[in-house]
Amino acid sequence: MFKKNETLLFIGDSITDSGATYKEPDEIGNGFVRHINDFLKIKNPEKKLNIINKGIGGNKSIDLLKRWEKDVIKENPDLLFIFIGTNEILGKYFEDPFISDIDIFELNLINMIEQTNKKTNIKLMNLIPYTKKIKNQFLFGKDLYSKENLEIIKYNKTIEKIANHYNLTYINLYEDFKKLDDLDIDLTIDGIHPNSKGHMLIFTKILKTLKKEIYI
């Protein structure tokens, strides 16, 4: 069970960010982090849990690593959820010169884990697939649907390998999104960013993880 005043910190890109302004502690966006915050504070008001959103749109693994000291280590969270990699894949196809390859992504993720307090319970979230909504849409002349789900699978295998090596919880979002997408359930705004149903799906997956680990 959660202890009083424990901190849950979520770090990632725009999917985690989801409109967070960071001007006030409760301005944590309108996505899955908001769902987690509201659920836990209603269910366990006496615990006075601290929910922190450190998602920033456009971030890649190298960006997280650069702000790790300020945004993670100084916060010293009890639970840490890392959700990163989507922009790494997108950038490859848009010829972003600042994009690292998958080996560098792996090293960056390992570096984050190694720098984190050993008492912090780290959870790695895998990447969601690009959904049918993006099919046949061409951004900057690139067909995102066919190629990048294959890239996502490669990145997810790397994330899972790291989770297994460090004995960390691996939250598999990909399978749930793919299953519902195959049933033509619309889960994204643009094929990449979750809509309200997509964020609810991420929330329920995290909730199942917390229940399985007897936090709630």
190: pLDDT confidence band, cut at 50, 70 and 90? Answer: confident
> Whose CA is closest to 17, among 46, 65, 54, 72?
54
Question: Under CATH, what is the fold of the domain 7-212?
Answer: Rossmann fold (3.40.50)
The whole-angstrom separation of Cα 154 and Cα 136 is 22
Query: Where does the pLDDT of residue 97 fall: very low under 50, low under 70, confident under 90, or very high at 90 and above?
Result: low
Q: State yes or no: pLDDT of 216 exceeds 50.
A: yes
pLDDT tens by residue, 126-179: 999 987 766 655 554 445 555 567 889 999 999 999 999 999 999 999 999 999
Spans of all domains in the chain? 7-212
pLDDT tens per residue, range 194-210:
999 999 999 999 999 99
